[in-house]
Amino acid sequence: MSVSRMRPSGRGAALITGGAGFIGTNLAHRILQGGRNVLLFDNLSRPGVERNLAWLQSVYGERVEFLEGDVRHRSALREVVRRADQVYHFAAQVAVTTSLEDPVHDFEVNVGGTLNLLEELRALSRPVPLVFTSTNKVYGALNHLRLRRDGTRYEPEEGALRNRGVNEDCPRDFHSPYGCSKGAADQYVLDYTRSFGLPTVVFRMSCIYGPHQFGTEDQGWVAHFLICALQDRPLTLYGDGLQVRDILFVEDLAEALVLAQAHMKHLAGQAFNMGGGPRNTISLLELLELIADIHGQTPPVCVTAWRIGDQRYYVSDTSKFEAGTGWAPRVGVREGVTRLYEWLVQARGRPRRRLLAGKGSS
């Protein structure tokens, strides 16, 4: 696929590293709709991202500028950083399994790449604000949580945790090389506000899903489950399937990212847990039930042992970010999963089996 390269233009653009990825594409769409141009920086290493880039360019034309590059190469970042007035940093090695296979690569991308970007921002004569996406994996496996089984899911015994989720005071406990690298990058980003006055915000994210996501077993599990169903391909459940996550539709995340930049003056130097919150939780088994309802059948399933650092329960307490910005998720689980299913059907040109309506959002 041919891609457009950078053209000279004035300042005022938003730079998105990893900009052709799932979240980058959706954020770019949101920003472009708001009238601002975007600079996309991506090495196009993840399957499917060329299609995302082509879609953005077909819709927005020259307002989308692209530079193929790698965050491990600081000189490549220098060109785009100098032309941005805000930065969103998504470029990363994103899978726990890959980090276990090659911890050095994981470190070089997630820590080294982030430090390269921070240093290029620090070198500027003007402050350019940065929003960085970290992960809930910085909190480790959360084995200290007292959980009980409730039908098809785990839930905390403690009422306050059931009602609100995990907040930012939870002790960090990096698990897996991926948890270590994202956690180290998370702390570097926050410290560059403290040590150098660079305006930064960190999102410690739960599970994000939505259109333009080409999910795999290692990352993007909601899309992965749906893709397996569409292809009638078997999927593997690690553990017992009762593990619970709060899932956030990507449009709601994009709005939160934009608000973080808009409120940077009083948010800078802080980390925020970001996800769907207690109102948007689902277990793996419950997602399979929802897929059966939407699609008409579930994919074949096999069950195997738990993976390293896999959390049995994680739900984000987003109240800190909500209080600072007025943000709240708008898309419920059923609506969001259905919209992703419909997008995957259209993107893959496959007929859907059966779509039921009238059950509302969960």
Amino acid residing at 241: G
- C-alpha dist (Å) from residue 330 to 206, 249, 279, 327, 333: 16, 8, 10, 9, 10
The verdict on whether 178 is a catalytic residue reads yes
CA angle (219 as vertex; 216, 223 as ends), nearest 5: 55
224: left (phi over 0), alpha (psi -120 to 50) or beta: alpha
Which letter, b or e, does each residue of 310-320 get, where b requires 16 or more Cβ atoms within 10 Å of its Cβ?
A: bbbbbbbbbbb
Asked if 192 and 200 touch (Cβ cutoff 8 Å), the reply is: yes
Q: How is residue 282 annotated by DSSP? A: E
- For the chain, the helix, strand and coil percentages under 3-state DSSP, each to the nearest 5: 45, 20, 35
- Alpha helices, DSSP H, located in 92-200: 96-101, 103-107, 113-122, 159-164, 176-196
From 139, 178, 188, 192, active-site residue: 178
Q: Cβ(23)–Cβ(90) under 8 Å?
A: yes
207 with 245: CB under 8 angstroms?
yes
Angle at 145 between CA 151 and CA 219, to 5 degrees: 75
Distance CA 200, CA 104 (A): 26
The residues annotated as belonging to the active site are 178
